[in-house]
Chains A and B, each alone.
Chain A
Amino acid sequence: MSNKELHALLKLIDSLELSEFKMKEGEFSLSVRTKHYVSTSSAHHAPIAAPMSAPAPIAAAVSAPSVTAESSTTESTEDESKYLAVKSPMVGTFYRSPSPDKPVYIKIGDNISSGDTVCIIEAMKLFNEVESEVTGKIVKVLVEDAQPVEYDQVLFLVDPNA
């Protein structure tokens, strides 16, 4: 499968709002989970088996988020260089709201200032509020609620010029 075909396939999966998609063709296999997928355990992600023709990712970190249609690395990489990243300062589990019954701290389109709490990262039963070091508008949320994150992992993209 060529990169173009893969790109088209991912777009199709997104437009159909599938939660999970798997395929195998000869030696090529692909497994995709989208934002509609409800994970039962936080640590077990099916790693994306990259096709032989595309560059293989180094050490697919299981703690990396599942591919969602928005965060696919094959699209919109040209735009992202002008955005600022809010990165995880620690290892743990990412939560978008202070508690399950409360609303999320931030969503796409919100304006944030440096110092605003953007999420919680929990490790060993300790809940840490993560503050943004940048000001601007949230254009992308790269991690799903209750997913594990590692140090320096990009959580949000912020447009400072918005």
Chain B
Amino acid sequence: MFKKILIANRGEIALRIIRTCKEMNIKTVAVYSTADKESLHVRFADEAVCIGPPASAESYLSIPKIMAAVEITNADAIHPGYGFLSENADFAEVCNEYGIKFIGPQASHMRKMGDKVTAKATMIKAGVPVVPGSEGLIKNLEEGEKIATKIGFPVMIKATAGGGGKGMRLVWSVDEFEKGWNEARQEAMACFGNDGIYIEKFVEEPRHIEFQIVGDQFGKVVHLSERDCSIQRRHQKLIEECPSPFMTDDLRERMGAAAVKAGEWIKYEGVGTVEFLVDKHRNFYFMEMNTRIQVEHPVTEEVIDHDLIKEQIKIAAGEPIVGGNYLPVGHAIECRINAEDPFNGFRPSPGKITSFHSSKGHGVRVDTAVYTSYTIPPYYDSMIAKIICRARTREECITKMSRALDEFIIEGIKTTVPFHQKLMKNEKFRSGNFDTSFMNDFDMEE
């Protein structure tokens, strides 16, 4: 087992990792930029090394500086957390060269699954369902109609140079295809100067449901069930829960098997998440894979009763997985609390926290690295806390989260607590019948 782990990260995840290391009797080294001198992760670690000025590029993202810190502290492993260098294949390789264990997958895993196109191609080979689509650009109308019919309607006609919803047309039947084809190409040419078109199946009322997998160094992969992350704003997750209100035993078995297959195919090592889109008919399609521990990992921890950071460290130390897949017991919801003003377009609100009272009580967990008198630096992301509630049923969990949000007091900065309070009372959310379009209709002022 490792003697000393250097945490190449900051904020709540750095603190999270330090806590587990302490329980495992592993020494910890924190690295920090000058902006993070007063951070909790610096205070809680056994040793701390200042590695650079505030800018991430010159501190938390600087491979040479982090390796220098490893050198002078004699750490034998690095935990990269999430974000920063956690999915940087070059960094994983540098660690290998220096004989330092990178707690995570191999560089090859990151390269295979990091690029969406490569990942999709890999999954097709593995026999995991992906969003059906044309293999390249469509040459002409006839080919387009043929491929669309093969994929199955409804389809999205998409401009390869497209973005911001431009050059896209939704087509529900082969009769409508020609019209959509012409319009999409004209719009694409006008907006991007490129009328190259491809086709993808339109996933109706898509839900974002991801599966947590764990793979050991001996080829065994298991899944730890799902997390529903459909409620997103600009592709940023706001809230996650397990079980997904849309899940059935059969769907979990099918999706779980696909997630495990994906992991086994690439001989995945460590914890990872396979993201799927699920349509209203409960067809599921591979979207992408995250080769790291995720922000929302506590949701899974609360329903399967295991410490995922501990599992990561054990796997990195060469321990084999014992047991099989885990099904959730009870219900857990996580609300991400950001230093943003939900009444003003969620604009960032860094500054000094003059007063902080965290939620507590039965079934309430708060992962945070802020405290009273802490100043949130403007250089990093705006997430300041995660409130995770666990109860026997979804309804009880929502009630508990409401209670927890009401007693979560932060003064001096604006936070997204009011947004979550409103969300807990929202009929659509409470019903469990929502998909990724949910935030399009959600209005803070109503």
Contact = CB atoms under 8 A, between A and B. Distances in A.
Interface of A: 42-43, 58-59, 61-63, 90-93, 123-124, 148-153
A124 B68 contact: yes
B42 A151 contact: no
A59 B72 CA distance: 17
Nearest to A45: B47
Nearest to B44: A59
B160 interface: no
B68 A91 contact: yes
Contacts of B38: 58
B72 A151 contact: no
B45 interface: yes
B68 A43 contact: no
A135 B216 CA distance: 57
Q: Range of interface residues on chain B?
A: 20 to 34
Contact of B73 (A58, A59, A63): A63
B269 to A, nearest CB: 26
Nearest to A153: B50
Contact of B49 (A42, A61, A93): A61
B155 interface: no
A63 B42 contact: no
A62 B73 contact: yes
Contacts of A152: 34, 50
Given A43-B74, A149-B72, 18 more contacts: A43-B73, A58-B42, A61-B50, A62-B47, A90-B65, A91-B50, A91-B68, A91-B69, A92-B71, A93-B72, A123-B67, A124-B71, A150-B50, A150-B69, A151-B50, A151-B51, A151-B53, A151-B65
B30 A59 contact: yes
| Chain B binding surface SS class | mixed
Interface pairs A-B: 9 shortest CB-CB: A148-B72, A123-B68, A91-B68, A62-B47, A150-B50, A59-B48, A151-B50, A150-B49, A59-B42
Given A58-B43, A150-B49, A151-B51, A43 B34 contact: no
Nearest to A121: B68
Given A59-B42, A124-B67, A150 B51 contact: yes
Contacts of A123: 64, 67-68, 71-72
B154 interface: no
A59 B68 contact: no
B72 A124 contact: no
A162 B297 CA distance: 59
A90 B67 CA distance: 11
16 contacts: A42-B72, A58-B42, A58-B43, A59-B45, A61-B48, A61-B50, A62-B46, A62-B47, A91-B51, A92-B72, A93-B71, A124-B71, A150-B49, A151-B49, A152-B50, A153-B50
A91 B60 CA distance: 13
B52 interface: yes
B72 A63 contact: yes
Interface in B17-65: 30, 34, 37-38, 42-43, 45-53, 59, 64-65
Contacts of B42: 58-59
A91 B49 contact: yes
Contacts of A91: 49-51, 65, 68-69, 72
A86 to B, nearest CB: 16
Contacts of A43: 72-74
Interface string B74-115: 100000000000000000000000100000000000000000
Given A150-B50, A151-B65, A59 B43 contact: yes
A153 B69 CA distance: 13
Contacts of A93: 71-72
A51 to B, nearest CB: 19
A100 to B, nearest CB: 19
Contacts of B47: 59, 61-63
A26 B38 CA distance: 31
Nearest to A91: B68
A90 B50 CA distance: 9
Contacts of A62: 46-47, 73
Interface centre among A151, A152, A153, by most chain B C-beta atoms within 10 angstroms, is: A151
A116 B69 CA distance: 26
A58 to B, nearest CB: 6
Interface string B344-375: 00000000000000000000000000000000
